[in-house]
Every structure is written in C-alpha cells, then in structure tokens.
Amino acid sequence: MDFRRGLILAVMDILLLSELTFAIWYAHWEMEVVAWRFLQAFLPPVILTILGTRWAFKRWAPKKKVSVEEAKGQPWRPVNLFGALGQSPNQPRREP
C-alpha cells in the first residue's frame, strides 16, 4: 500500500474512533434519551469523515492502473470491479 493511502486510512480510523468516543461520552449524560443523543452526536461527523476520506482518496491517493494478468496473479486483489482498481467494467465479448 502506498504511504499516502495508508496515511489517509490512519487519519480516518483515528477520526472514527474519536467520534465514537465523543458520542458515547455525550450520550451518557441523559440516560432517558441515550440512543437519540448518541445518534445525534455520531452520525453527522461520521458521514463527513466518510465523504472526506473518499474526497482525499480521489484527490491525493495515487491512481494505479492494474492489468488483468497482474490482478489474477495476486489472489487478494479482486478482478474486474468498478472504481479503485481501474479496470473496465465492460469486458469485451468472448467469441463462441
């Protein structure tokens, strides 16, 4: 994994854990409405974190095209998916 991708993921993980911790702390003050206060404090920052991470990946993470042969040689890398791997989802038709 590239350093920039790893850094983006590490920052996202730290943000998500801190948001979860804050939401639990914020919600415990009023036990009658703990679920509502937790969702109120947790969902908006999580949505912003996820959108910001997607934006950071599009802007700063390197875009690396992978050939189908190279992807088949690596069992952990999925083949012919949309998006990050850069392969075309529309494969040419096979001749009968």
CB within 8 Å of 12: residues ≥ 6 apart: 49, 50, 53
Q: CA nearest 7: which of 48, 85, 61, 64? A: 61
Residues in the chain: 96
Please tell me the predicted confidence (pLDDT) of residue 91.
58
Average pLDDT over residues 2-13: 90
Give alpha helix (H) positions in the chain: 3-27, 34-60, 68-72
pLDDT digits (tens, 9 = 90+) for 45-85: 999 999 999 999 888 877 777 677 776 666 665 555 555 45
Share of the chain above pLDDT 70, in %: 70
Q: Is pTM beyond 0.75 here?
A: no
- Residue 25 and residue 38 in contact, taking contact as beta carbons nearer than 8 Å: no
pLDDT digits (tens, 9 = 90+) for 31-42: 899 999 999 999
